[in-house]
Amino acid sequence: MALLIVCGLALALIAWLAGQPLWRARRRARLQRQPFPQAWRRILRRRVPLVASLPPDLQLRLKRLMLVFLAEKPIIGCAGLTVTDEMRVTIAAQACLPLLGASRGYYPKLSQVLLYPRAFVVDRVAQGAAGVQMEQRRLLSGESWTQGQVILSWQDVLEGAADPADGRNVVIHEFAHQLDQAKGHANGAPVLRDRAAHARWSRVMSAEFEALQQRLARGEEGVLDAYGATDPAEFFAVASEVFFEQPLRLAQEHPALYQELARYYRLNPFSW
């Protein structure tokens, strides 16, 4: 009898797990059919001007993505910050931009967004000379963790959204990291279609990363921020910011990089 009970419970658990994707898909479909609140539309017009430049079909898709994102991803205030709808909508609109072209889930590894009023301080242990470990204190505007958290500064979120053509957007940056971290770690190579796509990505991104380091060594400036030369993961995140905010300049200065990002995101922003 005990064995039968155990087997029954195991079968029930298997059935429940098997039904989860279907239940989730139906729930998301219901969410996407809900009307997009008028108050949220006003927030988008006021706080995220990039949305107005999107073609109508992508504006509609973005709003549907936002409805699911905001239903599934809690945004939690830190350091005494009270999170408002203005904050939630402003963050969600920018976080969903990288999801517009391809179906990648809704950042499945992400459990919550932590929001600080302004840049926040973190302590890190760094490797110094001769292997000596040193504590470093850094002021950050955003951070993405493989443990399922994105941390943002509201002040920097607002500044990044206010100018949709400056190539700097902390939300796009950190959520590009989330895409990169979907496989468990960030190395500048998000999950791609197949081996051939990985090989092409590696070839193009490595060449562009090295070229950025060489330009910086010569003291030359370009469309890509110097922070992108930190490592391949930061290069992908920095390039993603520019892809969405300065697509024409990126396509002119770095055509191979633009084409690779366009293939990955399945979008062509300079046509908007």
Whether pLDDT at 135 is above 90: no
Structure tokens at 163: 């100018």
Q: What is the mean pLDDT of residues 216-233?
A: 96
Identical fold, 29-124+134-186 and 188-272: no
Residue tagged 């179906």 (tokens): 103
Q: Report the DSSP pairing between strands 149-153 and 75-77.
A: unpaired
Residues 186 and 129: their CA atoms lie apart, in Å, by 25
Q: Where are the domains of the chain?
A: 29-124+134-186, 188-272
Whether pLDDT at 104 is above 60: yes
Percent of the chain exceeding pLDDT 70 equals: 87
Q: What is the mean pLDDT of residues 105-113?
A: 95
Whether pLDDT at 179 is above 70: yes
Whether pLDDT at 183 is above 50: yes
Q: What is the mean pLDDT of the chain?
A: 90
Residue 114 near residue 150, CB atoms below 8 Å? yes
Of 191, 142, 186, which Cα lies nearest the Cα of 168? 142
What does the pLDDT read at residue 13? 37
10-37: per-residue pLDDT in tens? 433 343 344 568 988 999 999 899 999 9
Whether pLDDT at 44 is above 90: yes
Q: What CATH superfamily is the domain 29-124+134-186?
A: Glucose-regulated metallo-peptidase M90, N-terminal domain (1.10.472.150)
CATH topology of domain 188-272: Collagenase (Catalytic Domain) (3.40.390)
Residues 242 and 160: their CA atoms lie apart, in Å, by 12
Whether pLDDT at 95 is above 80: yes
Residues 247 and 19: their CA atoms lie apart, in Å, by 41
Task: Answer whether 0.85 is exceeded by the pTM.
Answer: yes
Q: 3-state DSSP helix/strand/coil percent for the chain, to nearest 5?
A: 60, 10, 25
